[in-house]
Amino acid sequence: MSTVNGKAEEPAGASGRRAPTVADFTTGQEVRWCPGCGDHAILSTMRGLLPALGVAPENTVVVSGIGCSSRLPYYLDTYGIHSIHGRAPSFATGISINRPDLSVWVVTGDGDALAIGGNHLIHALRRNVNLKILLLNNEIYGLTKGQASPTSKVGTIGPSSPFGSLDNPFNPVALALGAGATFVARTIDSDRRHLTATLTAAAAHKGAALVEIRQGCPTFSAIPRQGGRGAAQAAPAEPDNPGAPEHGPIRLSPGLPIVFGSNEQWGVIRDPSTGELGIGHGGDSRVVVHDPGTQNSTYAYALARLAETSLAEPPIGVYRSVSQPSFDQLYQERLATARPGGRGDLGTLLKGTDSWVHAG
């Protein structure tokens, strides 16, 4: 039995209807992304994930904003809205609170979500609206041809920053944690198994779930590990973290120590005197055992910021997963208490309980 939006779903076929398949979630639309784009892997993963969740296509809604990533609703045979730039969380909020029976997903990019859409994103997370938000982060504006985005590294060269960008980038995971999101995770497009597991965990969460998916843009990439060509280039300067140890992906697993390196020779340690996180030897007794269920988000936030100073690549996995009442649940409870009062009177409503007549 699978779980979607925190609710148990019937096993496939239990209701007598045919279990959904990948074909049921596939449209006849031509996929119009560049060859090698990470969006292809994410689309393929979603087509495999959604039928596995046991939710019918007609009970699934995918909402997007503007950008390369926001074309994804065209290629999933569900209900979908290709909405206004940056406003996908607002559209999705309206759908979710009025149709709590639906599985509502938001697909957005680093520019769409964190520039013009930053206001809408943080409030959807703060309210804990029951949305699954996929933030596809390639650290560049791809659709508009290679401008520096809110997640581009300092010094990124592009049409809007020919001498290199000056502003510090957003850390999407840290931003989401700061907004109070109850589920925050990071994964990568090139690891299908990890991507699927992370999205499955997000789907099971009741409340706002944000998943940052790091990927490369093969045309305008600003992520050196993915290569790339075109207008945008990584800054020709020193590495962000010159003292960071070389390592592969750091995987966060609940209940396991955070160790990494070819021989697990490195680990994330906590200074007992200050509580701060840092990098030490993998055998150090101070190595942190990962716990995404910690209610206080201080630990998850410190872990998210660690990549900015001490790591070559940010850790992937679930940073935080805690249970709190969703906005949808509270909204429905409020409606239930409001209905017995009847239709009411518009004039009385407008007059209110604290009005007076000024006798000139």
Q: What is the pLDDT of residues 22-69, one digit of tens each?
A: 999 999 999 999 999 999 999 999 999 999 999 999 999 999 999 999
Q: Give the residue range(s) of CATH 3.40.50.970 domains in the chain.
A: 3-237+325-336
Q: What is the mean pLDDT of residues 68-97?
A: 96
Q: What is the model's pLDDT at position 345? A: 84
Spatial distance between the Cα atoms of 261 and 248, rounded to a whole number of angstroms: 6
**CA 188 to chain centroid:** 12
Q: What is the mean pLDDT of residues 111-137?
A: 97
Spatial distance between the Cα atoms of 63 and 132, rounded to a whole number of angstroms: 10
Of the pLDDT bands very low, low, confident and very high (cuts 50, 70, 90), residue 228 is: very low
Spatial distance between the Cα atoms of 212 and 319, rounded to a whole number of angstroms: 11
Q: What is the pLDDT of residues 87-97, one digit of tens each?
A: 999 999 999 99
Q: Mean pLDDT for the chain? A: 88
Among 134-143, 318-327, 349-358, top mean pLDDT goes to: 318-327
CATH number belonging to domain 3-237+325-336: 3.40.50.970
CA-wise closest residue to 87 among 62, 61, 60, 63: 63
Q: What is the model's pLDDT at position 247? A: 67
Task: Judge whether residue 229 has pLDDT over 60.
Answer: no
CA-wise closest residue to 5 among 71, 50, 70: 50
Report percent pLDDT > 90 for the chain: 70
Q: What is the model's pLDDT at position 7? A: 54
269 forms beta bridges with 278, 287
Q: What is the pTM of this model?
A: 0.86
